[in-house]
Structure 1
């Protein structure tokens, strides 16, 4: 099987089309309806009855989702049609032209909603190298689509995949790596050419292909799909990469609510998710024997603490991950590999970048310790975005009761370039806000800081009056330093904070930010302003401020591509005599 993101353009419905009923309710949560739509290009109708056991298979899928989604997702049979003829050319048949199949088959269906899943069931065609494919997301006509090759009456495994893929979830893959001696090794952070990606190789996934059972839909599915499964933020714990060691109880997947069932951290462009799976409930079919590293053949995968790796950002699919295999084996068969860590086992990633260790464990929970051996030797101040990072830097550096908190735009850079030296000189924080909102992390940091004054840097196009008004909740006084443009704003910030006769004035580009970033700490340390200029001209507001300052020395930050030699020569006119 494989997912398909584009099965071809939709086309207008034929007069004999079957119309799907309209259902109410939100996408993903609630009732899903499955429709069997067998289509054939042959002159004679195939002998197989496409309705045989259709209701049984749909009922099985419904029972699975009812259990895995705690009663919030149900699956019903909408209808099972008899064969319909579609027109395909000999070339389209010989090349298994998916777009053509979709073009012709879709003529038979009109209407439909995102929770409708249409299974176009085709006679076996050896030119098609797949058993079933699914549309990732809804089709251009608004309903989910699966196409099967020779699966006249698709079973519940196909339906499970349809539910997942039509709701933009792709099954978990696995990267199998081989060392120089030809031995299988656990997945490294950056797979080399000696690694191969094996699709649908998660033994527990409802979108997988194991013949003996399915596990619970994983917590990463639930977290990324938001409403697809009920997901309580209290069920997962985020640990900061590079932070101190964390030991916590990781409860089995789909165990008692209110307990941590997933531990997650983000590192070097990947998100890592830890879950604990045991042989119970939907996963009672798994083998929970202790893994024998000598190579005992297992009949089914074992449980334990498992780790999945998801590349960020998820540009193509909502959920597209790799399962990390902690145990080596000579076999690539899923049933003979054991991806879980058991009691007393640990895994250390290359370069000691992270380590996972499992302590005591039972059928309910496992004690898991996450650490970052190499990263804890070097401190990092960060957050999940620019605003949280700004708040984290402030929280690490300033005690409550600061005199002034400077607030600049987190979307455009010029105002902060001139404000940073002022904040540094006076030992006050600089915080970033959004154009039309105060991010929660910044609001929390302002509450902690309790500043006597807040100064807004820049005009209303970068920080709106509404944000300025909202800042009044965090300080007795709120001021704004602004100008008609970035150059005038820079001059206004300088004029409000520096008296004439400064020793050094620093001049930086107002078009690119890189040079001023390195120069701002120096300006703050030497109590000199940063004044912005254009590339080939010195703006009038900047010239007027330099004339007022009468600096003893002017330092140009950056090369002639950002500030021309002509501007550099002109600056000499503003030095003190």
Structure 2
């Protein structure tokens, strides 16, 4: 993708690090390590612009003392000389400030948590140290809110305000807490920010600088021996269950040497550390030892903080068929296993299918949201008959006919004929047609079905989110479809997509919105979004309060939808993306089935210009910023619809340096 536009977009959000790092004594804590391949390289930082990477020097924009690598190795996190917590692209460039400096605050030990979606660091103010958490990336203009990763936990055995040296393998969070009674630091651990647990668990008294093994089964930490040397100890971690307490600490190293800033290798076989034969002063080299305490060796004669960069290639998947019907089938086969499936291997078949006509979009624009709500693939068929390939795919994912397996038919009999419905019925499945007098009323019928299936009950079911888009052109509604049910840590929202008659508000849509308004909770009213200029105008024409998501082009609007519903690290709005989809903005069919697929993957669908293969330039910068959490990109349609440059270009944006991306076509679940 165009490098100039990427650099320009990144420059709008970047804050360059200062050229001075103070107080680099390098007596610090561990650096986070995520599970990765055995050939994951060891990097060394020492407070300069240079990062030693497998023996080679790489120059970065900021001076880097302590550093931590994202789970896929695409970005490095550190505290710059001005006190900003920043991330920078692997190989240098593209700095993003994730926590701006605060007067009187000293930050240290940034570590990636929640599988690259957030960063936890220690912050010391007026002598008190605590842990803070921030999203790993925020789009330009977004307010940065520091949150306490321990604030919603119960059962702590200490009063917060003396925590430091956080470390994580992406799931577990370990840290040290100063015990005022013993005047020593103790090591505590919690899983996934303590959700569903009683809070941090004491792993070991009298320890510092914890590091979590990639598999989360062992915590290594430092403890001084009788001669004052820092030795590495380990303790088994059995989880938060009080019936399975942590293991008894075991000493791993000994001798007249300090073992500073330990960190596990991504395959868990070794622990690297700074080494010094002095009880104080600058380290002399970087060494490592096997996780069982054998095989000590010198890794580098250059001293500094060791940190492994995980080698975890990202994946670009293209889902394509010989036509739009085949592309929808390919998407279904990639997500849904053949019935009856194998739940033990996390392979579940679908219990429903959503079926739409293949030649027009009019009645189908809410279909992506419906497919997500009922856990179904969205398939396309000609209006007058059931396509043979589609029939076979319905049978594959639903398996033998029985009660509870439904095929939803979108639109009236002019959209999908009785011949289609009868063919499905003859297969033994329940057929449910969702239709209205026109495309706008059909969108309302689909919306009502979405809330009925996600919130069972009688009477009106209030949606949790409403996205409004024009029904006269497809792009805005297609972007909305993948996002309507996107959610945070508590699961998907019950969101719907309803349509306007371009800039006019149809009576059926207005009536639905009136119901939403009448049933609003005064404290938490259902948010309504106008996706695209036409919907914004239609909502304004009836005086309906809403949030406009309007770009200058369909590609910019698509980006704004992604940014709004997938661009945060927040339970109330939407989680940072792990998966991102791409479809042409010039045609609707691939984006329709792709939107349903992305709804199941919990990621946005970005529209790309088929002439260039690129999304909006802002989206390129957004993808690079979120590369720490994005593991997979999906491209819908053949190269005639979305050129191959999209695969390689997006791969370069989300992947780490050195082209660490796997390219796959039409995988099967």
Q: Same fold (TM over 0.5)?
A: no
Answer with 1 or 2: which has the greater Rg. Answer: 1
Q: TM-score by structure 2 length?
A: 0.29
Q: Which has the higher contact order (CA 8 A, sep 6+)?
A: 2
TM-score of the pair, normalised by structure 1: 0.33
